[in-house]
Amino acid sequence: MNKSYYLETYGCQMNVADSELIEKLLHSEGYKQTDQMEKADAIFVNTCAIRDHAEQKVHSRLGLFNRVKRENPGVIIGVLGCMAQNLKDDILTNKPYVDIILGPDGYRRLPEYLKRNNKKKHIVDTKLSRYEVYDDLFPSRKEGINAWVSIMRGCDKFCTFCIVPFTRGRERSRSIDSIIAEVSQAVSDGFVEITLLGQNVNSYQFNSIGFTQLLEAVSEVKGVQRIRYTSPHPQDVTEELLDIMASRNNICNSIHFPLQSGSDRILKRMNRTYTQNHFLAQVTMMRDKIPHIGISTDIIVGFPGETETDFQETLNVMNEVQFNSAFTFKYSGRPFTKAVEYPDHISENVKQERLERLIQLQKQHTLNKNSDLIGTAQPVLIEKESKKSSSHWAGRTDTNKWVTFKKESTKIKQTVDVDILKTSGISLHGEIS
């Protein structure tokens, strides 16, 4: 039996990591990966439900898969991941060509469903688990520099805009032993950078081990050149965590620190559990402990009830912090969430206009932050050949900036000090020190 699968992945890094788990399961069933969906025996899409736009994208892909199925009626179509939960009814009534609908806690059962697949009946499994962490299942990774390692799943924070607690269920952490075993395996497979993943990565708690101790343990695994983690919640960023980051060379000096809004009134309505002052105090603490720390963020504009004054507060915080980079989003009402029920939604025009102002401001900050690096030497991990020149490498600084420089006699996966000479747009150029 030589079966093949085609898999597309949408959404965050957790989904990318989940897809690697799914691939592992498929490989052990004898399935081989293919890039040609027309020839595949099974087509899977690992979906994201975070904003309406993400869902629309998947709907349009499903339209295409349906056309493929008309040509090849035997193909199995599977909708996996975060949309499974909230779209199962829609899929069952409107998309009869979908054979399997499987939520993020059900992947272990995928092989069984593939065997059981009965053309006349859909398989729907969107059960969420309080325990599933796929502890014993190591992902099937493509060759590369960075290995994603999931350390916890789910989220209990219930920010009022966010669908994740409903699509991924309750927060649960994986055992430290299995995390360290997976990290060691990744290193012996040739990976040099580890990114620890969780929807709320710093809420990690396994028996008495918290996130700081876990980070410390991962930093001691031989051969790990760089450690990153995402996404932490501002509420759980502690002094101890920053001390560990400051004291270990292989923990990158960068942090993703999602602001969402700068207005206390909106933060409260979002159930974010911190205030503007608290957030700014955290940033000060980070910079005291790690002076050149790179800080990136997520910001939502047009949350229900956001006034121009609230929006100005967000711009004020941005001006004060000067984030290195920001992911910016227009609020999108999501099923099951509290905020979608609020009566005072903001018009699309206002959201768009605020988003553009925000992007403009962030662009200035990003460029300023990049120019600050000119004249400094930065440790850069060499990742690949530069797209523009075969005599140059491209690699990232530990604050996550891409730099290109002449290869000289260095090789991929080596960390070298690079003198930053100039910037162009958002990229940096330099030469080996």
Q: Contacting ligand SAH (CB under 6 A), which of 10, 65, 161, 206?
A: 161
Look at strands 415-424 and 427-432 and give their pairing. Answer: antiparallel
The window from 25-33, 151-159, 282-290, 344-352 that contacts ligand SF4 (CB under 6 A) reads: 151-159
Edge-to-edge strands of the sheet including 100-102? 31-33, 3-9, 42-47, 76-81, 100-102, 123-125
- In DSSP notation, 211-222 reads HHHHHHHHHTST
Could you say which of 199, 296, 328, 399 contacts ligand SF4 (CB under 6 A)?
199
Choices 7-15, 29-37, 264-272, 307-315; region in contact with ligand F3S by CB under 6 A:
7-15
Count CB-CB contacts under 10 A for residue 53: 11
The Cα 303–Cα 311 span in angstroms is 10
Minimal distance in Å, beta carbon 201 to ligand F3S? 12
- 184 Cβ neighbours under 8 A, 6+ residues apart: 221
Q: Please state, in angstroms and rounded to a whole number, the distance separating the CA atoms of residues 241 and 259.
A: 19
Closest CA to 80 of 25, 152, 2: 25
Contact call for residue 50 and ligand SAH (CB under 6 A): yes
Does 195 contact ligand F3S by CB under 6 A? no
Measured from the CB of residue 258, what is the shortest distance to ligand SAH in angstroms?
Answer: 4
Residue 42 belongs to what H/E stretch? strand 42-47
Which range of residues in 142-150, 154-162, 239-247, 397-405 is near ligand SF4 by CB under 6 A?
154-162
CA distance 229 to 196: 4
Minimum CB distance to ligand SAH, residue 233 (Å):
5
Q: How many residues bind ligand SAH (CB under 6 A)?
A: 17
Residue found by looking up tokens 């025009």 in the block: 349
Name every residue whose Cβ is closer than 8 Å to that of residue 327 and which is 6 or more positions away in sequence. 296, 297, 298, 299
The answer to whether residue 395 forms part of the interface with ligand SF4 (CB under 6 A) is no
- Rounded to whole angstroms, the maximal C-alpha distance in the chain is 66
Nearest approach, Cβ of residue 200 and ligand F3S (Å): 11
CB of 15 to ligand SAH, least distance (A): 11
Contact assessment for residue 174 and residue 182, using Cβ atoms and an 8 Å cutoff? no
Which CB atom, from 90 or from 239, has the smaller least distance to ligand F3S? 90
Cα–Cα distance for residue pair 379/225, rounded to 1 Å? 11
Tokens found for residue 65? 């898969």
- What are the φ/ψ torsions at residue 307 (nearest 5 degrees)? -90, 170
Instruction: Kindly tell me which of 21 and 163 has the beta carbon lying closer to ligand F3S.
Output: 163
Binding piece for ligand F3S, criterion CB under 6 A, among 10-18, 24-32, 352-360, 401-409: 10-18
Pairing assessment for the beta strands 377-385 and 392-397 based on DSSP bridges:
antiparallel
Q: Interface with ligand F3S by CB under 6 A: which range of 56-64, 162-170, 258-266, 361-369? A: 162-170
Residues in contact with ligand F3S, shown as a per-residue x/- string from 49 to 88 under the rule CB under 6 A: xx-------------------------------x------
Residues 6+ apart with CB under 8 A from 342: 160, 269, 304, 305
159 binds ligand F3S (CB under 6 A): no
| CA distance linking residue 29 with residue 364, whole number of Å | 51
Residue nearest to ligand F3S (CB): 11
49 binding partner (options ligand SAH, ligand F3S, ligand SF4, none; Cβ < 5 to 8 Å by kind):
ligand F3S
Residue 301 CB, nearest approach to ligand SF4 (Å): 15
Binding site for ligand SAH (CB under 6 A): 50-51, 161-162, 164, 199-200, 231, 233, 258, 260, 298, 300, 329, 331-332, 334
Residues of this chain that interact with ligand F3S (CB under 6 A) are 11-12, 14-15, 48-50, 82, 163-164, 167-168, 199
Binding residues vs ligand SF4 (CB under 6 A): 155, 157-159, 162, 164-165, 199-200, 233
